[in-house]
A = this chain, B = another copy of it.
Amino acid sequence: MPTATGYAAQHSFSRLKPISFERDDPKANEVEIEVLFCGICHSDIHQVKNEWGNTVYPCMPGHEVVGRVSRAGASVTRHKIGDLVGVGCMIDSCRHCEPCSSHEENYCEGPNSWLATYNGPMVPKAKSPDGKNSYGRDNTYGGYSSSVVVAEDFVLKIPAGLSPDVAAPILCAGVTTYSPMKHWGVKSGDKVGIVGFGGLGDMAAKLARAMGADVTLFTSTKEKVSEATKIGVTGVLSSDKDAMKKLAGSFDFILSTVPEKHDVMPFVELLKRDKTLVVVGALEPLAPVNNQEVAFHRKSVAGSLIGNIADTQEVLDFCAEHKIGPDVQVIPIQEVNHAYKEVLKGDVRFRYVIDLASLKLDE
């Protein structure tokens, strides 16, 4: 009898539908987690539609997972049954390479890189140097499901004061924006720009503000400009050339959360000398970088991919301490396909979070 249920796509063109499947029993170092909530990330949609050309089907997304430990392997010490815990984008890594040894598991350079919470290893068998998959699983099923089984080192503690639905998106959107701000040294008093006002932009702006930065949110959607003030930051319409010109050369750090190909140059122009624009939204070719603007002020354009496990715990604790979190809209899983459409329209400012209790409605 199948031990788990969840929603998956069978092809790039198909909707997510309920399926039943076997979850492995937890190994000695693993815990089984009964999923309570799972956030919908824009990358779930990219992956379901095979827009990166690497999707393994059936594709069951979900890497913003919050739940309760329901079983624990014999050697597990960090979590116990009943604990409220979270799982982000990774459920394992090679644990031997230089990045893993430096606790930068998200940059794992093992033959299969890290094991993603869904869709299997980041470097699949066919593309790995030795033609093998050291994780033994070519596909993994994410948190749009009744349960997940994860190595305890990759399971985060949800701090008191964060409600489980709000905590979910922090596991991806939160750490994806927190990690580069920490790495590039955003500090109190800095002028920080956030490009894009979706799930990532919302988290980024709140985190930067809680760090004490003077935050400006750039959006291409007129209606969202005034919404920025609701989260205590300045909103600027990125197509407003006069407003943009006035801000030239004034930012200490800019984070672009735009989830598709875009021109970073209008924002590079806003950086001070020696400062960096980091792209976390779009994992694809950007419009050409104009080196005249970059070189004349020794600026940098960089990328950053999610964050490590320690940073993930840190951002959860930081959000609890500063009483911030994403704006979420909790939906039953039966509305997931509709939610995808709304996200693709680009006018969703909150994060959809699936209440997995709704899985029972399909029974």
Residues of A whose CB lies within 8 Å of any CB of B are 52, 98-99, 104, 107, 109, 183, 249, 273, 276, 279-280, 282-305
A-B contact pairs, 30 of them (CB 8 A): A52-B292, A98-B273, A99-B273, A107-B298, A109-B273, A279-B291, A279-B295, A280-B295, A282-B291, A283-B292, A283-B295, A283-B296, A284-B291, A285-B288, A285-B290, A285-B292, A286-B289, A288-B288, A288-B289, A291-B303, A293-B303, A295-B304, A295-B305, A296-B303, A296-B305, A298-B305, A299-B302, A299-B303, A300-B302, A301-B301
Residues of B near A107 (CB, < 8 A) are 273, 296-298
Residues of B near A288 (CB, < 8 A) are 285-289
Alpha-carbon separation in the docked complex, A288 to B279 (Å): 13
Alpha-carbon separation in the docked complex, A201 to B239 (Å): 40
Alpha-carbon separation in the docked complex, A301 to B284 (Å): 15
Once the chains bind, are A284 and B292 in contact (CB under 8 Å)? yes
Residues of B near A279 (CB, < 8 A) are 291, 294-295
Residues of B near A290 (CB, < 8 A) are 284-286
Alpha-carbon separation in the docked complex, A300 to B286 (Å): 13
Residues of B near A299 (CB, < 8 A) are 302-303
Copies of this chain in the oligomer: 2
CB distance from A136 to the nearest CB of B (A): 23
Alpha-carbon separation in the docked complex, A240 to B172 (Å): 39
Once the chains bind, are A283 and B273 in contact (CB under 8 Å)? no
* Contact of A289 (CB < 8 Å), options: B52, B276, B285, B292: B285
Alpha-carbon separation in the docked complex, A98 to B284 (Å): 36
* Contact of A301 (CB < 8 Å), options: B52, B273, B289, B292: B289
Residues of B near A301 (CB, < 8 A) are 289, 294, 300-302
Once the chains bind, are A109 and B249 in contact (CB under 8 Å)? yes
Residues of B near A273 (CB, < 8 A) are 98-99, 104, 107, 109
Most buried by B among A287, A294, A295: A295
In the complex, what residue of chain B is closest to A122 when comparing beta carbons?
B296
Alpha-carbon separation in the docked complex, A289 to B289 (Å): 7
Alpha-carbon separation in the docked complex, A292 to B273 (Å): 25
Alpha-carbon separation in the docked complex, A99 to B274 (Å): 10
In the complex, what residue of chain B is closest to A183 when comparing beta carbons?
B298
Residues of B near A104 (CB, < 8 A) are 273
Once the chains bind, are B302 and A294 in contact (CB under 8 Å)? yes
Residues of B near A303 (CB, < 8 A) are 291, 293-296, 298-299
Residues of B near A98 (CB, < 8 A) are 273
In the complex, what residue of chain B is closest to A283 when comparing beta carbons?
B292
Alpha-carbon separation in the docked complex, A47 to B248 (Å): 26
Residues of B near A302 (CB, < 8 A) are 294, 298-301
Once the chains bind, are B298 and A291 in contact (CB under 8 Å)? no
Residues of B near A297 (CB, < 8 A) are 107
Alpha-carbon separation in the docked complex, A331 to B301 (Å): 41
